[in-house]
């Protein structure tokens, strides 16, 4: 069982699920929209959790938190999430993972560096982690501990980008979707492509279409002005959202990634489109979470639907190409985990060291004062000499214990030293009485 005071350090816990542990139908149900994050952070705070950060993307939902009541807080957090997502309790056993302390911030380092992504080395995730942290800071959901953890995370990710080629010729979910389309059709130059959405994923996809030299790219979005902006700045022709049905009749490939809470395209809608197409094949690539296209659409004849989980095979092929750089990155992360563990250990030890020194000084000062009261005729030089002497003696007596604290941070050692340097008042009274006697 996890020891909440493991190694005597402050601790971090992460509760999450990702593309490796949960299928898309579960991930989309536990996806947290950016606009909903502040409310959930507040609910988490109400459970007694001191600090928390929520990361929710198309491939993962993770909550990083710091509290002194680990097991109690984790249970309350699961209860809160069950209520928010209307999730079955068994989901937490079947689809989620929990990491603590070194394993937790190692996992965070891997996530921010793109090493735990569906597409290894993809650059977007670092920006998503930074955005998640920024929102938590604005909502006053972080404190000194998580601030240190996330700043260390960003430094580690930067080091990996600098010292390895893991981000060279960067891949992304969007680029993988386009590669899938090229595997299906070969040359895309003669194909008419419809992009549904105007967010970051679609913007990235349009840049890839531009590199491919494609001319017949159509863009549709609920906010027509955003579609126009992308078409003007990158490539394509913009259309109002209400023309979606007619546009689907004349295109070969559809790439969709919107922020819709419900599918934009269902089976009935697609049946109507396919009748107008006279059953010509249509390829749909849905990289949205939650999904934009109902999975039942794939049952329609000559409709070929791919979602984000269908990109896993392609991502594995690219992972093999990047394996050497990935190994370098993992080595860096192991180094940074060790460094950070030492930092956290020292942070935890400093209060005990300070407490020990303060207690020793308190005893020295008290005894010095009593001695000087007896030496009423002592001159300033004598007083300074005695003061310096007692400081030297005290420091030499305390030094071995300080060294012991730094070398051994176990709970038993800490408790023993606290007991040694925190005498009960009645013990001091007994010592005073003995002195008087």
List the chain domain ranges: 6-170, 173-309, 344-436
**What are 259's two structure tokens?**
């922020």
Residues 6+ apart with CB under 8 A from 3: none
pLDDT of amino acid 1: 32
Report the relative pairing of strands 237-240 and 13-18 from DSSP bridges: unpaired
Residue 344: cis peptide before it, omega within 30 degrees of 0:
no
pLDDT for position 425: 41
Active site residue 58: yes
How far apart are the C-alpha atoms of 1 and 72, rounded to whole Å? 14
Q: Exactly one of 58, 139, 202, 228 is catalytic; which is it?
A: 58
Q: Which candidate, 109, 145, 135, places its Cα nearest to that of 55?
A: 135
Which CATH code, of 3.40.1260.20, 1.10.3720.10, 3.30.2290.10, 3.40.50.720, is assigned to 173-309? 3.40.50.720
Query: Cα 235–34–172 angle (5° rounding)?
Result: 45
**In Å, how far are 89, 127, 227 from 40, measured between CA atoms?**
18, 21, 31
Residues of the chain with pLDDT under 50: 1-9, 423-428, 431, 434, 437
For position 310, what pLDDT does the model report?
Answer: 85
Fold of 6-170: Beta Polymerase; domain 2 (3.30.460)
The pLDDT, as a whole number, for residue 191 is 86
Instruction: In whole angstroms, give the CA distance from residue 94 to residue 83.
Output: 17
């Amino acid at each position: 069982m996890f020891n909440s005071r493991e190694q005597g350090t402050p601790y971090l816990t992460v509760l999450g699920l990702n593309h490796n542990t949960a299928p898309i139908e579960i991930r989309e149900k536990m996806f947290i929209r950016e606009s909903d994050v502040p409310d959930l952070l507040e609910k988490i705070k109400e459970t007694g959790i001191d600090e928390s950060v929520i990361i929710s993307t198309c491939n993962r939902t993770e909550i990083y938190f710091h509290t002194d009541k680990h097991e109690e807080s984790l249970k309350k957090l699961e209860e809160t999430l069950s209520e928010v997502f209307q999730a079955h309790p068994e989901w937490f056993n079947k689809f989620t993972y929990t990491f603590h302390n070194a394993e937790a911030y190692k996992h965070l380092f891997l996530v921010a560096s793109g090493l735990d992504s569906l597409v290894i080395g993809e650059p977007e995730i670092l920006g998503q982690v930074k955005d998640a942290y920024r929102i938590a800071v604005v909502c006053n959901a972080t404190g000194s501990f998580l601030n240190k953890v996330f700043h260390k995370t960003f430094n580690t990710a930067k080091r990996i980008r600098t010292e390895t080629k893991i981000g060279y010729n960067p891949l992304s979910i969007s680029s993988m979707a386009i590669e899938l389309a090229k595997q299906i059709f070969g040359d895309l130059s003669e194909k008419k492509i419809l992009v549904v959405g105007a967010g970051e994923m679609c913007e990235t996809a349009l840049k890839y279409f531009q590199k491919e030299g494609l001319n017949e790219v159509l863009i549709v979005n609920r906010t027509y002005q955003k579609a126009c902006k992308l078409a003007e700045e990158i490539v394509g022709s913009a259309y109002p959202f209400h023309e979606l049905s007619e546009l689907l009749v004349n295109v070969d490939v559809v790439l969709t990634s919107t922020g819709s809470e419900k599918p934009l395209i269902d089976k009935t809608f697609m049946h109507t489109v396919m009748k107008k197409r006279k059953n010509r094949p249509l390829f749909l690539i849905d990289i949205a979470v939650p999904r934009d296209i109902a999975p039942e659409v794939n049952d329609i004849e000559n409709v070929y639907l791919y979602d984000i989980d269908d990109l896993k095979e392609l991502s594995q092929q690219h992972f093999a190409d990047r394996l050497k750089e990935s190994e370098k990155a993992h080595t860096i992360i192991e180094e940074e985990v060790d460094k950070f563990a030492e930092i956290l250990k020292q942070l935890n030890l400093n209060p005990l060291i300070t407490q020990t020194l303060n207690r020793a000084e308190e005893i020295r000062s008290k005894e010095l004062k009593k001695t000087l009261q007896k030496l009423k005729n002592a001159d300033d030089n004598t007083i300074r000499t005695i003061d310096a002497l007692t400081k030297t003696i005290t420091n030499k007596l305390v030094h071995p214990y300080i060294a012991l604290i730094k070398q051994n941070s176990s709970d038993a050692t800490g408790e023993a030293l606290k007991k040694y340097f925190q005498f009960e008042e009645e013990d001091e009274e007994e010592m005073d009485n003995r002195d008087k006697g």
